[in-house]
Structure 1
Amino acid sequence: MLITLSEIKQISLNGVWKQNSSLVQILGMCPLLAITTTLVNGVMLSFATLLVMAFSNFLVACLRNLIPYEIRIPVFILVAAFVVTVIDLGMNAYMHDLYNVLGIFIPLIITNCLVLGRIEAFAAKNGPLGAGLDGAMMGVGMIWTLGLLGGIREFIGAGTVLGGIELVIPGTSALQVLPADYPGFLVAILPPGAFICLGCLVAWRNWVVTRAAQRAQMPPPAPIAAGGCH
């Protein structure tokens, strides 16, 4: 089933901003606290989650009319687990060093409430293309949120940006933004720092949404009368 341009825009806006998994739904807190010590870690784990959600949603949407209602949840979990296993084995084979850094959080994607929640709320009720797009856009929302959070924590905590990029692109290295003798700020790297940074991001988003709503409700400026010669 094809989807219209307006549906594409609505799904994209919901995933990236309106229903952002980290800033609005506050889901996936375990990887958010543990993995976002660097921008690279946050982005790569989010990208893996994007692949899981996009393919899981697509497969469930293709099979939704064949799945009995009574056993839908176990089937949804099996489909998502299959996709997670494929991605886990692929990263272990082709990005082994990064896989060692992300560790158990790759297979734990299956326990993320967002994955099963989007399958149940969207993929089980819509066509394959819309479902796949919904999963991908939810992943994009997670990528920019966890990437920004990881970048802030890395910058404050170590004075660098893109730490660990050599695990993804061999031959590259992190950018030392602050002086090399910067002592670092340990709290930013620890889970309390993630809570504080996340709280600031949530507050920032709420402020942006509130300001936009206030501007939408403001009456248009009164027209200025044209001056004339007397």
Structure 2
Amino acid sequence: MSLFSKQNKAAFVEPLNLNNPIMVQVLGICSALAVTSQLKPAIVMGLAVTVITAFSNVIISIIRNTIPQRIRIIVQLVVVAALVTIVSQVLKAFAYDVSVQLSVYVGLIITNCILMGRLEAFAMMNKPWPSFLDGIGNGLGYAMILFVVGAAREFFGRGSLLGFKIIPDAVYNAGYMNNGMMTMSAMALILLGCVIWVHRSFFYKEEK
């Protein structure tokens, strides 16, 4: 099978739009709400989930035929937990301020239903390369939504992006005020609902 066959392309591309883990499958909502008050932690969380999903898929795919069915969930959790620990330590070493902002949510990647869902539904039944593409696709699909929501909340709630001031002082002097509600968790839920609504209205057609 070609590395970029139709099936492999679908495994990578579909989670970015037509089978997006957040917009279509409605998975990973909790972390999407928790870490999107600013853009930087949203990007880091998205990249962390992408790396962990991709490599956990590959590892489980490689050893799938040696895992007893009775303990497959435990094995999957151990693999994910090991990768989460590595990512957490890397963040503490090289991006400590972001790791503090993310707080316990990096550790809670272990319970992210996107990861466990892909391991059980895809990696356990496919070879390493398609599993890797599936993990990358689902991770990037998740990260894309975090990026959109995080950017909107930081821009309208703080007037900045990635900590850099975007809205000039002249605008504030003219009477503009940051929307404090954008920094609240309730607005994350509302924005996420709007993203899902727009996507389903224009791009997604449910099977009948």
* Global fold match (TM > 0.5): yes
Deviates more, 1:103-112 or 1:118-127: 103-112
Question: 145, 149, 167: which one pairs with 1:177?
Answer: 167
- Within 5 A, what are the aligned runs for 1:37-52? 37-52=37-52
1:183, distance to aligned residue in structure 2 (A) = 3.0
Q: Residue 218 of structure 1 corresponds to which residue in structure 2?
A: none
1:178, distance to aligned residue in structure 2 (A) = 5.0
Instruction: Give 2:42's aligned amino acid.
Output: G
Q: Is the 8 A contact 1:76 1:116 kept in 2?
A: yes
Instruction: Please give the alpha-carbon distance, in whole angstroms, between the structure 1 residues aligned to 2:103 and 2:10.
Output: 35
- Within 5 A, what are the aligned runs for 1:13-92? 13-92=13-92
Q: Which has the higher contact order (CA 8 A, sep 6+)?
A: 2
Q: CA RMSD in A?
A: 1.6
- The runs of 5 or more residues in structure 2 that have no matched partner are none
Q: 1:36 to 1:178 in 2, by over 3 A?
A: farther
Question: 175, 185, 195: which one pairs with 1:191?
Answer: 185
Instruction: Give 1:40's aligned amino acid.
Output: K
1:42-101 deviations in Å (ceiling 9; x for gaps): 111010000110010000000001101111111111111111111111111121121111
- The runs of 5 or more residues in structure 1 that have no matched partner are 164-173, 214-230
1:136-193 deviations in Å (ceiling 9; x for gaps): 1101101111101111111111121222xxxxxxxxxx14235473531111111110
- Normalising by structure 2, we get a TM-score of 0.91
Instruction: Please give the alpha-carbon distance, in whole angstroms, between the structure 1 residues aligned to 2:79 and 2:133.
Output: 17
Identical pairs, percent: 33
1:2, distance to aligned residue in structure 2 (A) = 5.4
Count of matched residue positions in the alignment of Structure 1 and Structure 2: 201
- Within 5 A, what are the aligned runs for 1:163-174? 163=163, 174=164
| Residue 196 of structure 2 is aligned to residue 202 of structure 1 | yes
1:103-156 deviations in Å (ceiling 9; x for gaps): 111111001111111000000000001111101110110111110111111111
Instruction: Give 2:13's aligned amino acid.
Output: L
Q: Is the 8 A contact 1:158 1:183 kept in 2?
A: no
| Residue 149 of structure 2 is aligned to residue 156 of structure 1 | no
SS of residue in 1 equivalent to 2:17: helix
1:182-230 deviations in Å (ceiling 9; x for gaps): 53111111111011111111111012126xx6xxxxxxxxxxxxxxxxx
1:4, distance to aligned residue in structure 2 (A) = 3.9
SS of residue in 1 equivalent to 2:21: coil
Instruction: Please give the alpha-carbon distance, in whole angstroms, between the structure 2 residues aligned to 1:189 and 1:37.
Output: 6
Instruction: Give 1:177's aligned amino acid.
Output: I
Instruction: Please give the alpha-carbon distance, in whole angstroms, between the structure 1 residues aligned to 2:2 and 2:127.
Output: 8
| Residue 1 of structure 2 is aligned to residue 11 of structure 1 | no
Structure 1 or 2, whichever has the larger Rg, is 1
